[in-house]
Amino acid sequence: MALLKIARLGHPVLRQVSSPVTDPSDSETRRLVGDMIETMRDANGAGLAAPQVYALKRIIVFHAPADPHDPDERSSAPFTVLINPEFEPVSEQKDVGWEGCLSIPGLRGQVKRWSHIRYRGIGLGGRTVEREATGFHARVVQHEIDHLDGILYPDRMSTMASLCFDTELDHFLADEDDSQDE
C-alpha cells in the first residue's frame, strides 16, 4: 500500500463528477481502496473520497468515532468502504455542525446537513452495506458523497461568517471537541 497525495482546494479534480465503479472487486479498485484507507489514517482524517486522491471514481472511506455526548449508536461507525454510495434523508430535520476537509487544510466551517439518513453502497467484499446514520456519522457520509459530485463543504455553508482556522475555533465554542478533517 502507498500514501497518496491529497488534492487541495483549487485543483480542478475536486470539482469534477466521479464515475460509478463497474467492477468493485477488481484488483485496481482494491489497491486504490487500500491506499485511500492508509492515506486517511496517516492524515488523521475521518473520511476521504477518491477524487481527493485524483481518482474520479465513486468510492469513499470513512469512520465515525463514538461520541460520549451522543448516545445514539447510529451516530458512530467503524472504518467503512463504500463503492457507488447513495443516501436519502429519513426525516426533514437538519443540524448545523463543524466540518473540515483534508483538501482544505487548517480551516473549519459550520454546515447544515440532514440529521438522519439512510445510505447504501458496495463494501470491499462485494456485499451491499446499508445503514441508518445520525449525528457525525450522517454528516461525514454526506460530506464524502458530496466530493463525488465535485461539491466542497464551503459550497454548503449558508454564510461564511463561521469559516475559521482550526486554531481560532475556540472563539466559537469553548467546550466543543475538535472535529476531524473529512
Decide if 144 is catalytic.
Answer: yes
**Residues forming a β-bridge with 88:** 118
Nearer residue to Ni ion within complex by CB, 102 or 117:
102
Q: What is the DSSP letter of 70?
A: -
Catalytic residue among 144, 168, 176, 182: 144
**182: contact with Ni ion by CB under 5 A:** yes
Shortest separation between residue 142's beta carbon and Ni ion, angstroms: 11
**101: contact with Ni ion by CB under 5 A:** yes
Strands 47-49 and 116-122: unpaired
User: Which residue matches cell numbers 459550497?
Assistant: 155
Shortest separation between residue 7's beta carbon and Ni ion, angstroms: 10
For residue 157, what is its C-alpha cell? 455553508
Shortest separation between residue 113's beta carbon and Ni ion, angstroms: 13
Q: Distances in Å between the alpha carbon of 79 and those of 36, 60, 68, 123, 143?
A: 12, 11, 18, 11, 16
Nearer residue to Ni ion within complex by CB, 35 or 182:
182
Interface ranges with Ni ion (CB under 5 A): 101, 182
Question: Which residues are known to be catalytic?
Answer: 144
